[in-house]
Structure 1
């Protein structure tokens, strides 16, 4: 109980300090672009009603979920193939490095030409950016499988899908989860950017509309919603990660305790 309470205090300490600093430094501000935090918080419940959450926040979350899920599946599958087969890696590595170096926001106008301006375009933009951290981390994790473990599995006749399922993927799972964590933060950024182009709903669209209408306190409330969304998704990801990698964290803890 005490450990959980101490952990909660550590999680909340820095946000509390930052909010306090923001409140103090912005109090009494007359700058139209930098309204007091008190004004932003008073405006928040007026702007983010249940209807606006349904029409703007929910579509953004659904687009993010679709693009992120597609990137996770494609990244893990292709990363496993690239990491397992040396010849495939030698052929694909230059192309992968080239594509990874292209910033995903630059692809938005190109994707619009092929996918239109609807939800498909936004999902494709999110997936095209999120896939690279997952793919590259998966490939590195598969390549780093312990040779002794791999050889032991081979000596027992564990090959094909059983080897992939029981040896390769569990050994690479810490790297895969690292790629998925990186992809999550990148996906939130791409979600907002994609919604700033020819959109009629979503967090990015709403924030831009507030900015164009000089409703700056409303714009700041949208930024707060975006930050809260990232925080909640991070907590959910940590919960999933602790469950999936429970064996890994337990192994590391036991290795630290051993003399």
Structure 2
């Protein structure tokens, strides 16, 4: 119980201090562009009601989920393939390094040419940006599989799917999840960017509309909502990671003690 309270204190202490500083520093602000936090929070409660949640937040989350899951499937699948075979890695590495260097937002106009301006374009943009950290971390994780363990599984006759399930994925799991964590933050950024191009709903579209109509407190409320969404998704990801890598965290804990 004491440890849970301590962790809660560590999680909330700095955000509480920052919110308090923002509140008092902006309390007397007369700037149109930096309104008081009190005004922003009032706008937050008025704007992000049931209609906005279903009309803007939910579509954004669904696009993010679609693009992110697509990137997970492609990144992990191709990463295992490339990391497992040296010849495949030698052939694909120059191309991967070239494509990784291209900023994903630059690809938005290109993707619009063949995917249109609907949800497909936004999902593809998110997937294209998220796939690289997942793919590259998976490749490195698979390459780093312990050679002794690999020889041991081979001597026991573990091949194909059994070897992949019991050796490769568990061994590469920590690095794969590192890539998944990086991809999640990239996905949120690309979700917003993709919705700023030829969209009719979504968080990115709504925030830009508020900015263009000089509804500045409403615009700031959207920024705060994006931060809260990112925090919630990060929390859910951490719970999933601890469940999937329970053996790894248990091993690290035992080594420290």
Q: CA deviation at 1:193?
A: 0.1
CA RMSD of aligned residues (A): 0.5
Matched residue, 2:167: 167
Residues in 1 aligned to 2:13 and 2:98: alpha-carbon distance in whole angstroms: 41
- Describe the superposition over 1:16-48 as per-residue Cα deviations: whole angstroms up to 9, x where unpaired: 111111112111111100000011011111111
Q: For residues 74-106 of structure 1, give each alpha carbon's deviation from its aligned partner in whole angstroms, at most 9, with x where no partner exists.
A: 000000011000000001001001000000000
- Other-structure match for 1:187: 187
Measured after TM superposition, the shift of residue 72 of structure 1 is 0.2
Matches within 5 A, 1:210-229: 210-229=210-229
Q: Which residue of 1 aligns with 2:133?
A: 133
The within-5 A match list for 1:188-207 is 188-207=188-207
Q: How many residues are matched?
A: 257
Aligned partners of 1:48, 1:167: CA distance in 2, in Å?
47
Residue 3 of structure 2 is matched in structure 1 by 3
Q: Which residue number in structure 2 is paired with residue 84 of structure 1? A: 84
Unpaired runs of 5+ in structure 2? none
- Name the residue aligned to 2:48: 48
> In the alignment, which residue of structure 2 is the partner of 1:33?
33
Q: TM-score, normalised by structure 2?
A: 0.99
The CA distance in 1 between the partners of 2:191 and 2:91, in whole Å, is 32
Shift of 1:235: 0.4
Q: In the alignment, which residue of structure 2 is the partner of 1:235? A: 235
Tell me the equivalent position of 2:112. 112
1:209 partner SS: helix
Aligned position for 1:251: 251
CA distance in 2, matches of 1:215, 1:88: 53
Runs of 4+ in 1 over 2 A off after TM superposition: none
Aligned mates of 2:100, 2:198 — CA distance in 1: 25
Deviation at 1:14, TM superposition (A): 1.0
2:61 alignment counterpart: 61
Q: C-alpha offsets along residues 141-190 of structure 1, whole Å, 9 cap, x if unaligned?
A: 00000111111101111111111111001100000100000000000000
